[in-house]
Amino acid sequence: MSGTLVLLRHGQSDWNLKNLFTGWKDPDLTEKGVEEAKGAGQRLKAAGYSFDIAFTSELSRAQRTLTLALGELGQSGLETIRNIALNERDYGDLSGLNKDDAREKWGEEQVHIWRRSYDTPPPGGESLKDTGARVWPYYIHTIQPRVLRGETILVAAHGNSLRALVMALEGMSGEEIVGEEIATGVPIVYRLNADSTVAEKTVLSA
């Protein structure tokens, strides 16, 4: 067996709470989000995890989640690499809009397609397939080799960038991944085989 990869979606953000499309906008965590991030760190510590390196996006809600979780782990000084490849899906013209207002403007069915289809992007934005097109190469070239060397790695990112990773790790189809939800502040632990396939998956729920 090779190394361990832990995926962590950021805690609840202010715009999650307000039901807004967030994408590449940069709101902070809510108080609940702070507690979710700390709780994730506490559960990882209780399960005996410590990390060799962490990766996160260029967005502050993921960075702060990582900082808070590492603080609970006693690893505040851990080497961390930030990269735009791990950013949330860009919602384009929907960014900053209330989801109910968007449904009123474009219709329930159209907004549902933009949110949940695999390869239909909103105007000016990315589909989940587009998000995967930047996440997958970054994972394969930068993160996966370290896991396969036996390192234990933490990736703090976003619902859609992590869904793209889960899709690749678990061999899901575009149809399967659209129904997959990534909960805020809940670590997903993958132990990988030497051939990069998943040997074991554990979800550290509260």
Query: Is 88 a known active-site residue?
Result: yes
Q: Based on the residue annotation, tell me whether 10 is a catalytic residue of this protein.
A: yes
In 51-79, which positions are buried (b, 16+ CB within 10 angstroms) versus exposed (e)?
Answer: bbebbbbebbbbbbbbbbbbebbebeebe
Cβ-contact 186, 206 below 8 angstroms? yes
DSSP lists the bridge partners of residue 201 as 190
Active-site position among 36, 72, 88, 126: 88
Distance between CA 35 and CA 69 in Å, rounded? 10
Active site residues: 10, 88
